[in-house]
Structure 1
Amino acid sequence: MSEASTGNFVTHDGVSLFYRHWPSADRPTEVPRRAIVMFHRGHEHGGRMAHLVEELGLQGFDFFAWDARGHGESPGARGDSPSFGTSVRDVQSFIDHITAAHSIASEDMVVLAQSVGAVVISTWAHDYAPKIRALVLASPAFKVKLYVPFARPGLKLMRAWRGNFFVNSYVKAKFLSHDPQRIASFDSDPLITRAISVNMLLGLYEAAERVVADAQAIQIPTQLLISGSDFVVHRKPQEQFFERLGSLHKEKHILPGFFHDTLGERDRAHALSRIRRFVLEAFETPMERPALLDADRLGWSCAEAEELAAPLPKNSPRDLYWRATRASMRLGSSLSAGVKLGFDTGFDSGSTLDYVYRNTPTGSSPVGRLIDRNYLNSIGWRGIRQRKVHAEELLRLAMGNLREQNRPVRIVDIAAGHGRYILEALEQGGEMPDSILLRDYSDINVRDGAALIEQKGLGSIARFLKGDAFDKDDLAALDPKPTLAVVSGLYELFGSNAMVGDSLAGLAAAVEEGGYLIYTGQPWHPQLELIARALTSHRGGEAWVMRRRSQAEMDQLIEAAGFRKLSQRIDEWGIFSVSLAQRVS
């Protein structure tokens, strides 16, 4: 293995992060380039993993190790990031950079991560469904041992009072490893910082709880290494994560006597030999992922949706609770314009979404406006507004790509609601497209969307027609053929993969080869039961029961229709994703 070189990659928000690269010096020319991409513990940096390059004995592999923002040689306040979700998106930027700059496909990468880095990577694996070869997670910090009673709610209260602030790690080096050299180097390394921001610490907890609860969505072959005498993190969430993992190939190893620095322990050879075998085995067979096209009929998300749709035992505590919740919302609808609109048209209707986008509290009194503000500020609606931002961003990106290729920009949105996000994105984007076709099945949406087109003075290029987004033949006959199709907030409302498949097949027939598709997903939602038990749908006022699709499932549906995913965005809470795909032959 050659000496490390250093480099930088630019993140989505323009920050230049530092990384180390150890290129393989002995790779056979007939073998594709392969890589081990390493992610360090909290407080540390990529240089602390350099010893693994030689010790793993994986000749023929390139090794990469980043310094997360706020760590090591990378910029930012020490131990901080704009958000935990920002650091997760940084991972995707790093993987994209390795692919583009070093010609290594994601399918030929294994990701190796430890502690806080392992939680960042687990969240990335859940939210982005990357097509990497395998994951190796060492002592993931799904639940840090804070030791102080009520420490987490106390930190939340203090942050609410004083904003973001920093706390220092209590852990001494002698409780991380039995290796005297690792202990000494930890104490003397000037790039190690003991501080971590409360924003990052609380974000770590929130992401970890979500990923452990929903680990079945992770389909990547995974090896989990658990330190047997860990003073820093709890074991139980690691065990729960492993039990729920949706991977076809997963293995767990508990290492007796190991402290938290699993990959830097004195007897780490026991762990490294397991990693080496797991990595080599991962490349001996073709990549395999569970087929998810029938996940609407089989599996955990189907069972979850059916449970939410089932009535609760009459007068049981949960039944009484949700009846009271519905009654309180009905009462609130007499004061809050937003809640009333939800009951009148459906909380999933285009009219409700347009109201949420406008985000202006309205009510019959100050109390009504306060209720409306709390309603609009719920986490689901905040996620919806962030989805709008991401959809507009990818819309402008796709339009720019088409113009660079000297191709016409012909846009169709097959379930546009009122079309506000499309039209507002175009207002901000400078040059207008050649044509815009907005469609929706609701007469109300067609009427109000057409009025919005006229209000914005876009009648010369835009039109709004009634149409069924699940009519494959009708979509396939779109004329002229669109070069950019948009499906936002539609497929999440319908559990059937056959319906979604028909819609995508129609779009695949309509969109020109090389054209683009923007699609949304909902891999997670923290309020599924509230939505199912208390809110009503636009479909005749029935209960609004949603079946979640993992990002992996949504991407498989897209690929089966003939599109190739290019890029993805997701909100801070992991609720709504927006992706860009290209029509391939």
Structure 2
Amino acid sequence: MTDLRTPLERQFSTSDNTTLFYRCWPAQRAGITPKVIVLFHRGHEHSGRLQHIIDELGMPDTTFYAWDARGHGRSPGPRGFSPSLARSVQDVDEFVRFAAADSKAGLEDVVVVAQSVGAVLAATWAHDYAPPVRGLVLVSPAFKVKLYVPFARPGLALMQRLRGLFYVNSYVKGKYLTHDEERVESFNSDPLISRPIAVNILLDLYKTARRIVDDANAITLPTQLLISAEDYVVHRQPQIDFFQRLRSTHKELHILPGFFHDTLGEKERHLAFDKMRSFIDSLYAMPPQRVDYQNEDRWSPGADAWRILSAGPERYSVEDLAYRALRYGMKLLGRQSTGVRLGFETGFDSGSTLDYVYRNQPQGSSALGRQIDKFYLNSPGWQGIRQRKIHLQMLIQQAVAQLVEQGKAVRVVDIAAGHGRYVLDALEGVTAVSEIRLRDYSELNVAQGQQMIAARGMAEYARFERGDAFHRDELAALTPRPTLGIVSGLYELFPENQRVRDSLAGLAAAIEPGGILIYTGQPWHPQLKTIAWALTSHKDGKAWVMRVRTQGEMDALVREAGFEKCAQLIDNEGIFTVSMAVRCER
């Protein structure tokens, strides 16, 4: 036990203008390199209950940060509420970036230590945002909470549909968390601990945790996982499944006998702290670990998944017959739906289809057709596409404001714009923009885009032209040089990375230093089989087979081209990301 360290108590603002409370424990002495540990508390709790971690870890050359998550402790909002788990994960990203900047350290100097629900947030952040931090320590992550009531989750989901937002009180008592009587008493008497949790967060937690456990191979950060052997609150097997699927070359798991859920507050917690300290010391003793993504399009789970999808289902298997029936039904009845018919005519990944999905107005040749169209437009993928459009517009407007603040001209190019609706919606009436150049390889898209520009009265400073998004030299020769480049919904349509490298290299050559790139990614999709085995592509009328790229792979390609990511947004389902990166100095 070292001398007790007194925290600074402060606040920081998130991107949605919510002011969150946090504590900071500055380093007691300077080290050779900066060391920053960001702590995330368990559900219902707050940063004040983490003081003992700083004191007992005994790392005087390390700066510690810990927040009160929104709806917890001294942070604002209804107790136990967040608009969504995705919003809370975005809060994690913003807080870690804030902590690094506030301590004048790089992200590669940060280690994240997170417990229970906080560990699920941290794992989701590592999966969805691919942050280049030093490593993770995840403690008893709540990937699957023990609810003890049969059919609790379906029942809660039904009640949410009927009642809307409501709150569920936690059944957890201090005696189920730890054998340490002092910790039990402090848990039961702490006025800042709140029992309620919003039903949307409880259901989001389960759904998101399942996605992250299933797709944990996307996480490549060095990770230590501590599991309590006698945990009454969460299940052990999902934690083990998660660990076994991690793709990190530096990972270690420890199961602590006799420990209850409050692993770092247990009576014998020195056993956990010894393991944590050893792991964290080893992370700082070696250079930051980054996975080599050079051959990701050949040797990776994503490449393997693409090859499996490309082969199709086993002939005459139950799965094959089911997808044959789906294709037959879509062609027989689905064509009464305007959206389905357009997909068969132009490709379900075409600019025309995407523009129809953006408009989101069910149409058909009959009442049945309109119902099919409504169901089609409400599929998870198309809902994600519409949210991606919103996120694109948000980051486009943010990029324009950033360029204006720096005194730069705003010249925009989108190299595969489809019909260009999301760009025009974002920039219509924005007087700071001096030029909008939309490009696409499809003559149909160019014609439709030109009509949209004319209809909006934007022809004076906007134009649409035919161009190849993968032609490096063509992109590099763009004049006048753009200061804002956009590429959306393109790269996931092509499995090989060399074309992506050529495209990004051309954009890097065209965009001047300090300029901005906005790019999209697709790290995960719940309907890959349905898309590959039932829908057709605009490229050749054959199967639409997508290769998902982890966010780490996508960011690595962007970084290789000479850009550094500075912001990211992702939808609640974790399907589509929109990122912003700055062109580095040559």
For this structure pair, what is the TM-score category when the shorter chain's length is used for normalisation?
over 0.9
Q: How far did 1:479 drift?
A: 1.4
Task: Give the aligned partner of residue 169 of structure 2.
Answer: 168
Task: Give the aligned partner of residue 224 of structure 1.
Answer: 225
The answer to whether the Cα contact below 8 Å between 2:428 and 2:458 also exists between their aligned partners in 1 is no
Q: How far did 1:287 drift?
A: 0.8
C-alpha separation in 1, matches of 2:333 and 2:376: 10
Task: Give the aligned partner of residue 490 of structure 2.
Answer: 490
Q: Give the fraction of aligned pairs with identical amino acids, expressed as a percent.
A: 58
Corresponding residue SS for 1:334: helix
Q: How far did 1:460 drift?
A: 1.0
Q: Note if 1:16 corresponds to 2:16.
A: no
Q: How far did 1:312 drift?
A: 2.0
Q: Note if 1:145 corresponds to 2:114.
A: no
Task: Give the aligned partner of residue 402 of structure 2.
Answer: 401
Corresponding residue SS for 2:433: coil
Q: Deviations over 1:370-420 (max 9, x none)?
A: 211111111111111111111111111111122122221111110000001
Task: Give the aligned partner of residue 342 of structure 1.
Answer: 343
Task: Give the aligned partner of residue 358 of structure 1.
Answer: 359
The answer to whether the Cα contact below 8 Å between 1:565 and 1:580 also exists between their aligned partners in 2 is yes
Write the letter of the residue equivalent to 2:196: A
Q: Note if 1:254 corresponds to 2:255.
A: yes
Task: Give the aligned partner of residue 545 of structure 1.
Answer: 545
Q: Deviations over 1:202-254 (max 9, x none)?
A: 00001100100111111110000000111111111000000000111000000
Write the letter of the residue equivalent to 1:458: M
C-alpha separation in 2, matches of 1:19 and 1:108: 19
The answer to whether the Cα contact below 8 Å between 2:347 and 2:538 also exists between their aligned partners in 1 is yes
C-alpha separation in 2, matches of 1:175 and 1:496: 51
Q: Note if 1:520 corresponds to 2:520.
A: yes
Task: Give the aligned partner of residue 114 of structure 1.
Answer: 115
Task: Give the aligned partner of residue 331 of structure 2.
Answer: 330
Q: Note if 1:264 corresponds to 2:265.
A: yes
Corresponding residue SS for 1:434: strand
The answer to whether the Cα contact below 8 Å between 1:248 and 1:289 also exists between their aligned partners in 2 is no
The answer to whether the Cα contact below 8 Å between 1:339 and 1:372 also exists between their aligned partners in 2 is yes
C-alpha separation in 2, matches of 1:72 and 1:460: 53
Corresponding residue SS for 2:336: coil
Q: Deviations over 1:430-467 (max 9, x none)?
A: 32411111110111101101111111111111111111
The answer to whether the Cα contact below 8 Å between 1:2 and 1:24 also exists between their aligned partners in 2 is no
Q: Deviations over 1:163-194 (max 9, x none)?
A: 12111111221111000000000110001111
The answer to whether the Cα contact below 8 Å between 2:492 and 2:521 also exists between their aligned partners in 1 is yes
C-alpha separation in 2, matches of 1:48 and 1:366: 58
Q: Deviations over 1:480-536 (max 9, x none)?
A: 111111001111111110110011111111111211111000011111111111111
C-alpha separation in 1, matches of 2:60 and 2:390: 44
Q: How far did 1:293 drift?
A: 2.4
Aligned residues: 582
Task: Give the aligned partner of residue 301 of structure 1.
Answer: 302
Task: Give the aligned partner of residue 557 of structure 1.
Answer: 557
The answer to whether the Cα contact below 8 Å between 1:483 and 1:512 also exists between their aligned partners in 2 is yes
C-alpha separation in 2, matches of 1:356 and 1:27: 55
Task: Give the aligned partner of residue 32 of structure 1.
Answer: 33
C-alpha separation in 2, matches of 1:159 and 1:54: 42
Q: Which runs of 5+ in 1 are unaligned?
A: none
Q: TM-score, normalised by structure 2?
A: 0.98
C-alpha separation in 1, matches of 2:334 and 2:541: 15
The answer to whether the Cα contact below 8 Å between 2:100 and 2:110 also exists between their aligned partners in 1 is no
C-alpha separation in 2, matches of 1:267 and 1:327: 62
Corresponding residue SS for 1:50: helix
Q: How far did 1:366 drift?
A: 2.4
The answer to whether the Cα contact below 8 Å between 2:389 and 2:422 also exists between their aligned partners in 1 is yes
When structure 1 is superposed on structure 2, of 92-101 and 412-421 the one drifting more is 92-101
Task: Give the aligned partner of residue 373 of structure 1.
Answer: 374
The answer to whether the Cα contact below 8 Å between 1:410 and 1:433 also exists between their aligned partners in 2 is yes
Task: Give the aligned partner of residue 60 of structure 2.
Answer: 59
Q: How far did 1:365 drift?
A: 2.2
Task: Give the aligned partner of residue 290 of structure 1.
Answer: 291
Q: How far did 1:93 drift?
A: 1.6
C-alpha separation in 1, matches of 2:245 and 2:414: 37
C-alpha separation in 1, matches of 2:118 and 2:471: 45
Q: How far did 1:100 drift?
A: 3.0
Q: Deviations over 1:324-347 (max 9, x none)?
A: 111222233321101111111011
C-alpha separation in 2, matches of 1:142 and 1:171: 16
The answer to whether the Cα contact below 8 Å between 2:226 and 2:254 also exists between their aligned partners in 1 is yes
Task: Give the aligned partner of residue 459 of structure 1.
Answer: 459
Alignment RMSD, CA only? 1.1
Corresponding residue SS for 1:178: coil
Q: TM-score, normalised by structure 1?
A: 0.98
Corresponding residue SS for 2:428: helix
Corresponding residue SS for 2:10: strand
